[in-house]
Structure 1
Amino acid sequence: MSIRLRIILGFLLTTVLLAAGIMTNAAFSLRQEAEDAYRTAVQRQLRLMGVYVTQFLHTAENNAALLAKDPDVAAAGDAFPTYKSTTSKSVFRHKDLSWTARNVLRKFVRMDKAYADYAEVYAGYEDGNYASSFDNAEVAPGFDMSRRPWYVARKASPEVCGISQSYLSYTGEMVFAVTHKMFDAAGGLTGVLGVDVSLAGLSARFKDMNFGKTGYFMLLEQGGRILSDPRNEDFAGKVIGQEVKDPGLEALLAAKDGMLAVTVRGVPMLATVRSTEFGWKIAALQAKDEIFAAAYADMRAMGLISAAITLLALGLSFLIVRSINRPLDKLVASARQIAGGDLSVQLNGAGFYGELAALQGALAEMVRNLKDMVSTAEQKSAEAEKQTSLAKAATQQAEQARQAAEQAKRDGMLAAAGHLEEAVAVISSAAQALAARIGQSDTAAGESARRLDEAATAMNEMNASVQEVAKNASDAARVSAEARAGAVSGADIVGKALQSIDQVQAVSLELKEDMTRLDAHAQAISRIMGVISDIADQTNLLALNAAIEAARAGEAGRGFAVVADEVRKLAEKTMTATKDVGSAIAAIQESADKSVTGMDNALKEVQTATGFASQSGEALRQIVSQVEAAADQVRAIAAAGEEQSAASEEINQSIVQVNAIAAQNTEAMHEAAEAVGHLTAQAQRLQELITAMQQG
């Protein structure tokens, strides 16, 4: 499998798997959100519908109870006619009835007209008597109200009030009856009152609650009769499982409260059931296609987007593969040419990027290196061939030179030996004469070096003595300068001490004045505290007198006695505090007196110290002048010693330099003697060589 196909399949597979995962998760989330939204909305509507139906039925029961508990209605049985003995149709006319009967019927008619959903208000009594809000109603022959099913059922029921099963009334509309027992004053049953409630109004309200294109509410009776179905009006009044054979509705009837999926007339739907306290069920149904329509639309949009992304990824992968394959094809073609030995291939960097650019650069570098290596090899081969030919020619020339040298050696050795013998004789004679002269010079140089060493030693000793004198003079000058500086510093310190003593004296005088003023203030405070103490004594006495007077007044003065006692306590506290403050002020006065006395003594001592410091300053000034004179004399001696030392040092340096020159001359004579000796030895060896050449 090629790289192109692998990359394309990798892109395609990754995109498809990613899109599939996103689609699956999104589909589940969208369906769940749609279902949750449906459940939330429908449950809220079902709760409202349940409240409405329950309130509707409670209102009917309350109205029936209102009439049934009316004593006039319960006891009016004898005022109404009975038809159980008739053999032909009769007409029930209000105008034919007694005043008592018409008075009761007015209550029936009033309630019937007050509620549009009420079809009829009626009553049946134990003797079969008949009463109805309908006027001019036809009555069948032998009609006995006490034998009607609703009458018998309510009479037999332990409950006073209840709702009957729905039925088709003689007017042709579906109704249900709310029946209520009637009792006399003694508690005996006198009859049953009934209110027929039409389901048409309830069905109309359910129809108004339709939602969406397929959503609606159904009202089911306990026995399975459909009381209201706005979307399937032909189901109204029919019983599920008998007249209506629909598995979805049968599952709906059997279901408990909650949500379930059903199929009604071939349409998949979601249904939510809620039961009322009267046993009726309210069901909300809506087609799944409508519930999930938005989710399906979003899923289709996501599918199209995923398909577009997949196609885009496929095109992008094709472009990427193409951008990779083109440079790779170029590199492969170039590599094949290089492998075939063609190094003239041109590797242009255009169209290469990233790692491919690096690979192209490496391949181009490899070609350049191969070209350089081939060129170098060719140059080395040419140089090797050239050097080989030169080596052969040099070998021939060397052989010829060797032969000529041997011949020349034999011919020239004898002639050279004669000339060398003459030169050696001259060199030997000159060397002997030079050796004699060098010996004399060496002896004279040695004597000069010895005399210069003695002179240098004497100058060094004299120079050391002069330097010592100069050093001692310098030290004396330095000590004199230090003594003078110390004396000057001492004089300055004494001056500063005099200033500080003057400041101390001034501060002491100010402090003495402050302490005097403090003593005066303390005495004033003591006088004030005496006045406060006297006031506190008087307050204490007044409070004591007030307490005595309050005690004499009895209950009337109890409150004033409490106040007087508190004032007395406050006066005692004031007296105690005054005593404490007086003691503290006395202590302050005593300390102030002692401080004033101490400041007087301190001022006297300061004046004495000022006199001594003045005398010390004068003595230090005399010492400074004397030290200054001695220092001038010492500095003169030191300057003379330094000049003498400098002159001695210059002479010593000159002797040292002369001595060094003499030593160099002596060393040069030794080296010359050694050279002459070596020359003599070489002349002897040359003589021996000449002798050997002449002999052989």
Structure 2
Amino acid sequence: MNLPLLGGLKLRGRITLSVALLSALSILSITGLGLSFTRSTLSKQIHATLKAEVEGLKDLVERTLAEREASVRSWSEDAILRGALLFDTFDKSDAVLAGLAKNHASISGFVLFNEKGRAVSASSEALLKAFQGREREVLETAWYRAALEGRFTANGLTREKDPVFGKRVLPLAAPVMSPLSGARLGVLLAAYDWSQVRDVVKASVQRAQDRAQGSFSLEVRRADGTVLFDSRPADAAPLVRPVSEETTNGSDVRDVGDGWLFVARLDASEAYAPLAQAASAALGMLGFFLALAVAGAWWLARGIARPISALNQAVTHVLEDGDLSHRVEVHTRDEVGELATAFSRMMEQLLQTTVGLQQGTRTLTGAVTELSKATENQERNLARQAAAIQETQVTAQEIRETSKMAEERSRAVLEVTTRAEEVGSVGETTLGASLAGLQDLHEKVGKLAGTILLLGNRTQQIGEIAQTVKDLADQSNMLALNAAIEAVRSGEHGKGFGVVAREIRALADQSIESTDRVRELLEDIGRSIEATVKMTEKGQHQMQDGLAQIKASGESLRELTSIVRDNAGAARQIAVAVSQQNAGIAQIFTAVTDLSSLMDETMQGVQATTRATNSLREAAERMETVARTYRA
């Protein structure tokens, strides 16, 4: 592979640069892996340390707040404080509160309030005076309302100093209950000094400073992010790249700090300072080993390049002067020395080969000249034969096309004749079927005429029957009239018979009317039957004339079919003869084509021989030139 940076360098420079690059890459890879592993390990240690510190802070604050809450509850149960609220005697309660403030330095002061929020006793007179007149303000405070409900709250802790105590305090208030009735007597306030948290974290901050981590800080925040405590000074610059760990005060231990967030923070530059020092040391070692690798690579390249330079000079001398008697002297026993020895043997063999080549070149040149002359004569003879075969092939092609056209025409005539023969046969068959059908139709028409005549006779018989029915209806009508006359004569006894007579007369009238309509219909049917008989007789005569004409056409069609069969036989004989002729011409054309192909192959062989001869001539000339280049 020819790299852009290495392509213009000598072997010595390329070996030196390649070894230096490989060494640098190897050292950089090892150093990078070591630094990456060190950073990962250091990061885990840093986060583990921060986690331990923040967990310790959380536990200390949680335990402290829980202890203070328990203490405030126990102090609120003091009998003296209860008695003071019951009997309004506060000398002893002041002494008790002063003693508690003296014994508990983390409490900035104690104040005892009655149910109306008035300060009645305190650990100091100044503290008692400070709360005088603030009853409404006390009643509205979060710690007082929480105390009335029997719980503690951290809402009284703010970022500003308390105006009464003069410092940041966490108000812890508990109700004072009557030992007899259990009623609420007042509220005891213990102001926890919030600056005590700084004493709690002092040991953690000191450990961080011992580790040269001056930016280490511990913070306490509310759930809404409000900072309640920060171990760093207020005027300290903010951290640029902080590394932090945090934990939340859970509810497993109930205290006012439930939900608070404890955070341990450290600047990344100080956290990873050991890693930066290790990286600086690694870079120094990288420079040292890289210089050592470059020096070793230069020495190695120098030992390899000197013998190769001697070989290069020898090859250049051979190429420029053509002297094959030059020898290379390399006194090394490595692979380069073996290469120089092999090169000397190659020069000796090349010298012997050159002498033999010069002799063989002269012999080859003479043989190529004679072969060229013979090839030229053969090529001229074959060219004349190829021209004659080409003319014969063209003539055979024309005969073949003519024969092919005659074969196609004969096949077309044969197909038309065959089709005519098939059509004649089909026509003859169809005509016979039509004749048989017409004959059958003639018979059926005759039968139809007989049936119509029989229908006419039956119609006449129906007419006679209808006349008989009319006569009976007339007689029934006369009988009904006589019955009606007799019914009138009979008086009342003949009324029913008169009704029957009227009904019979009505039926008789209906029968006469129906008979008249039947007679009219039968007359119309008779006239239609007579017309149909006449038309049937006329059609039968016309069908007999058509049958005679069809029989005459059938005879003519049979004669035409016989003629078409004779023509088809003749066309088949012509087609067979033309096909045999076309096959023979195709064989002749194939033979001529094969002969032409053989002639083409022969010509190609001769041309290949000519080209080979020319190539041999050129090779002989080049061999002669090469042989003249070197001298023995």
Q: TM-score range by the shorter chain?
A: 0.3 to 0.5
Q: TM-score when scaled to structure 2?
A: 0.46
Q: TM-score when scaled to structure 1?
A: 0.42
Higher RCO, 1 vs 2 (CA within 8 Å, ≥6 residues apart): 2
